[in-house]
Chain A
């Protein structure tokens, strides 16, 4: 096996509620929503009105800064509302699905015969370009930029993420077509875990294959870029999630958009953690109903427990998420004398707890911070879980100070908030690192444009 990157730093948190590899079916949701916040960096301009009929592929909104980047309806039906929050920020556009789904037919395409420009315009037209992200800044890609490469991670190493090989079943051909499309746009890298064995992944064509071995965040595309072809100042790379590669493949193979994804429904409060098929934006009320613990305050998360978004029990599946996690909220837990008791049911990387002696015990962690917020006190906590050639603590301090030169010097262009999720988990001072990184990147982007 060529090109194996071995990572030592990182952490696999062993959580209760891993998905069993079976599919269950969920009743059709009554509502779908496209949330502009799922596409970070976009200023949405909504182009549909309530009561308007839409098909699968009808644009709902576009980006004011790059009007050619459109975001389309995942289902056909009737627009029910455009919800707005403070300062008229668009929160979501909801669509009530019709019984019979109608698709806009974009026509089958033979990728090999298309030019780079044609491929790009098809992706823009069909709203798939919105699933391409760009670093620096970790935002929706600007189609006018020329990336030096496109990176796809073939696995998700987040806690309880589930297996991409399982999610890929039935879509192997579409995945390869999707990779072919990306390869038209720029040199494409696909990175796999050494334990992955699906032929569709290991024998993927038109891409540069790399393998990673090691704990989370080995599956983060940012970590992979840092080791394969790091981003220097002035360079741009695009990243696409593996699930979105399947969307792209389906379009070119069938001419229709199909935003169905296999979602891992996981967490300690899920009765039978396993997989189900959902279209992005689906309202999850029916998924949660009867499948989660009762008589407990719960936290519903679209995404992983480290990087996901908290949603209500009537919330929607995020546009880029293929995990739904349910954990205890924990606000009713009152643990005594936490500073000294052994607390064997709690997980810690620090050996003042006993999780280092408890082997592969699975923990049911809740959403408490489990400590007060402090200044950074203990050193080397972040370095141990961030396998990148970066000094995380110093970078965070540069971001907090708003020192742009220093941020650049320390490698801010290479990171995304998700890369700091594990650092945030282990931080004994409970610093909100992902928020700091996000604000820092946004600030930098505003300064640089």
Chain B
């Protein structure tokens, strides 16, 4: 390790101002801080600092996503073998298939996103921000398996530039970057993002699986949204374990729960938001069960609403994005609760989209500053009142 450090120290001058490789300083800096904790010391204020930095916290978010990602890979293979091949393969065949189907998406998402980040960090003479570590892994997890790579690349580029960098980078963005990517795909290429033909891969990959034409498999939510009022898909354990068609990593409640536990123990995500999203969703689900229109979506039991689609995934990993959610503690309850409500409202009352989580979170991203405004305003009013009282 000493040798590596010495080597880095030796080549470092080339990347600094005036060095011949200065054009790659952000790349060098990113690499150096990836290997070694930065040794810059404090020059003002507190002399000691907590060891938690954004690299550490973002890395733990990525770790919390891994169970859902691995399960997602397995499920991609499982769905393909069940629907396209017609029989189950071995565990490694199915996982291998899913791995090969998902890996290119991860590579493309990170490649495009980090590439843009590097260029912009270079241009702004800043360090590379870790925010995209999380967005980059989220993006392939929330798209259907059949989403073409070029679309993914285009959408990722769009989201990183227009949802994040033009606002000033990680910490300044209004919308969740991964969700903007998904929304871009959803509205630009609806045929590749919804319908019955995108959820299960129909191609053979490196000899694994089988190519079939015109394969259509509907998600349970898709069935409920197009079916008649009595066609509510029955609640099954598969909806909890995640062996159902859907976006790559959103299906397994259990895998997402493991991630949620990691996030809550480390305190990186807010339990207030997670909890209130579920409360809001359950509340609205029950309301529709009682008073809703006579459709399958409205008749779907509230717990099934919470288990299906992107609800869990959104509640745990998307709504809790610290930058785009409410930043006041009271605000977090309101923010989460409204996401839960909106997600179910969109599912039930909107005939166009069977899924409402993405739009609900993006919508509440807009309202998060407003919620905070009112919470902060109450503190301001209290202070004004206090001043009036003390002057009398």
A residues within 8 Å of B by Cβ? 13, 15, 159, 230, 232-235, 299, 301, 305-308, 310, 325, 327, 329-340, 343, 346-353, 365-380, 383, 389-391, 393-394, 409-411, 417, 421-422, 424-430, 432-435
Residue of B nearest to A337 (CB): B35
Residue of A nearest to B129 (CB): A374
A232–B39 touching, CB < 8 Å: no
B38–A369 touching, CB < 8 Å: yes
Query: Given that A306-B47, A377-B131, A409-B383 are known contacts, is A371 also in contact with B266, CB under 8 Å in the complex?
Result: no
Mask for B376-392, Cβ within 8 A of A = 1, else 0?
A: 10011011101100110
**Chain-A contact segment, one of B75-83, B239-247, B276-284, B322-330:** B322-330
A410–B376 touching, CB < 8 Å: yes
The 8 listed contacts between A and B (C-beta, < 8 Å) are A331-B41, A338-B51, A339-B56, A371-B51, A409-B383, A426-B50, A429-B171, A435-B45
Instruction: For B170, give its contact among A233, A339, A374 (CB under 8 Å).
Output: A374
Instruction: For A343, give its contact among B51, B127, B172 (CB under 8 Å).
Output: B51
Query: Given that A338-B51, A349-B50 are known contacts, is A368 also in contact with B379, CB under 8 Å in the complex?
Result: no
Interface centre among B49, B54, B265, B270 (most CB of A within 10 A): B49
A353–B52 touching, CB < 8 Å: yes
Interface centre among B34, B36, B52, B379 (most CB of A within 10 A): B52
Residue of B nearest to A310 (CB): B47
A230–B387 CA distance with the chains assembled, in angstroms: 9
Chain B count of residues within 8 A CB distance of the other chain: 60
- For window 291-347 of B, CB contacts with A under 8 Å fall at 322-323, 325, 327-329
Instruction: For B38, give its contact among A301, A340, A371, A427 (CB under 8 Å).
Output: A371
Residue of B nearest to A350 (CB): B52
B267–A430 touching, CB < 8 Å: no
B41–A340 touching, CB < 8 Å: no
Query: Given that A348-B52, A368-B41, A370-B53 are known contacts, is A308 also in contact with B376, CB under 8 Å in the complex?
Result: no
B48–A349 touching, CB < 8 Å: no
A368–B172 touching, CB < 8 Å: no
Interface centre among A305, A327, A329, A371 (most CB of B within 10 A): A371
A330–B51 touching, CB < 8 Å: no
Interface centre among B36, B37, B39, B325 (most CB of A within 10 A): B37
B residues within 8 Å of A by Cβ? 1, 5, 33-42, 44-60, 127, 129-131, 168-172, 265-268, 270, 322-323, 325, 327-329, 372, 376, 379-380, 382-384, 386-387, 390-391
By a CB distance below 8 angstroms, the chain B residues around A339 are 34, 53, 55-56, 58-59
By a CB distance below 8 angstroms, the chain A residues around B322 are 377-379
A331–B5 CA distance with the chains assembled, in angstroms: 13
By a CB distance below 8 angstroms, the chain A residues around B172 are 375
A352–B59 CA distance with the chains assembled, in angstroms: 10
A340–B59 touching, CB < 8 Å: yes
Query: Given that A350-B56, A391-B328, A409-B380 are known contacts, is A336 also in contact with B36, CB under 8 Å in the complex?
Result: yes
Query: Given that A339-B55, A377-B54 are known contacts, is A368 also in contact with B265, CB under 8 Å in the complex?
Result: no
A352–B48 touching, CB < 8 Å: no
A372–B1 touching, CB < 8 Å: no
By a CB distance below 8 angstroms, the chain B residues around A310 are 47
Residue of A nearest to B387 (CB): A232
A410–B267 CA distance with the chains assembled, in angstroms: 27
By a CB distance below 8 angstroms, the chain B residues around A411 are 379, 383
Interface centre among B5, B54, B390 (most CB of A within 10 A): B54
Q: Across the A-B interface, how many residue pairs have beta carbons closer than 8 Å?
A: 221
A410–B327 CA distance with the chains assembled, in angstroms: 15
B36–A352 touching, CB < 8 Å: no
By a CB distance below 8 angstroms, the chain B residues around A417 are 45
A372–B171 touching, CB < 8 Å: no
Instruction: For B46, give its contact among A233, A329, A424 (CB under 8 Å).
Output: A424
B54–A429 touching, CB < 8 Å: yes
A375–B50 touching, CB < 8 Å: no
Residue of A nearest to B40 (CB): A369
A305–B322 CA distance with the chains assembled, in angstroms: 29
Instruction: For B37, give its contact among A338, A421, A429 (CB under 8 Å).
Output: A338
A389–B59 CA distance with the chains assembled, in angstroms: 33
By a CB distance below 8 angstroms, the chain B residues around A13 are 48
Residue of A nearest to B372 (CB): A394
Instruction: For A305, give its contact among B44, B47, B130, B383 (CB under 8 Å).
Output: B47
Apart from A339-B58, A352-B268, A379-B322, what are 15 other A-B pairs with CB-CB below 8 Å? A233-B387, A305-B48, A331-B40, A334-B37, A335-B36, A336-B35, A348-B51, A353-B52, A369-B41, A371-B37, A371-B51, A376-B171, A425-B49, A428-B53, A428-B56
Query: Given that A331-B39, A370-B38, A380-B270 are known contacts, is A299 also in contact with B51, CB under 8 Å in the complex?
Result: no
A334–B51 touching, CB < 8 Å: no
A335–B54 touching, CB < 8 Å: no
Minimum CB–CB distance from B151 to chain A (whole Å) comes to 29
Instruction: For A377, give its contact among B59, B171, B383 (CB under 8 Å).
Output: B171
Residue of A nearest to B30 (CB): A372
Instruction: For A230, give its contact among B38, B48, B60, B386 (CB under 8 Å).
Output: B386
A349–B44 touching, CB < 8 Å: no
B46–A330 touching, CB < 8 Å: no
Minimum CB–CB distance from A209 to chain B (whole Å) comes to 22
A424–B45 touching, CB < 8 Å: yes
Residue of A nearest to B373 (CB): A394
A350–B58 CA distance with the chains assembled, in angstroms: 12
By a CB distance below 8 angstroms, the chain B residues around A432 are 44-45
A338–B57 CA distance with the chains assembled, in angstroms: 11
B41–A299 touching, CB < 8 Å: yes
Minimum CB–CB distance from A355 to chain B (whole Å) comes to 8
A337–B5 CA distance with the chains assembled, in angstroms: 13
A338–B55 touching, CB < 8 Å: yes
A424–B167 CA distance with the chains assembled, in angstroms: 25
A351–B391 touching, CB < 8 Å: no
Residue of A nearest to B63 (CB): A340
Minimum CB–CB distance from B60 to chain A (whole Å) comes to 5
By a CB distance below 8 angstroms, the chain B residues around A370 are 37-38, 49-51, 53
A339–B47 CA distance with the chains assembled, in angstroms: 21
A158–B36 CA distance with the chains assembled, in angstroms: 30
By a CB distance below 8 angstroms, the chain B residues around A333 are 37, 39
Query: Given that A367-B41, A379-B327, A391-B328 are known contacts, is A305 also in contact with B36, CB under 8 Å in the complex?
Result: no
By a CB distance below 8 angstroms, the chain B residues around A336 are 1, 35-37
A265–B48 CA distance with the chains assembled, in angstroms: 17
Query: Given that A232-B387, A391-B328, A424-B45 are known contacts, is A410 also in contact with B52, CB under 8 Å in the complex?
Result: no
A350–B45 touching, CB < 8 Å: no
B327–A350 touching, CB < 8 Å: no
A233–B323 CA distance with the chains assembled, in angstroms: 32
By a CB distance below 8 angstroms, the chain B residues around A383 are 329
A378–B52 CA distance with the chains assembled, in angstroms: 11
Instruction: For B50, give its contact among A350, A366, A434, A435 (CB under 8 Å).
Output: A350
By a CB distance below 8 angstroms, the chain A residues around B33 are 372
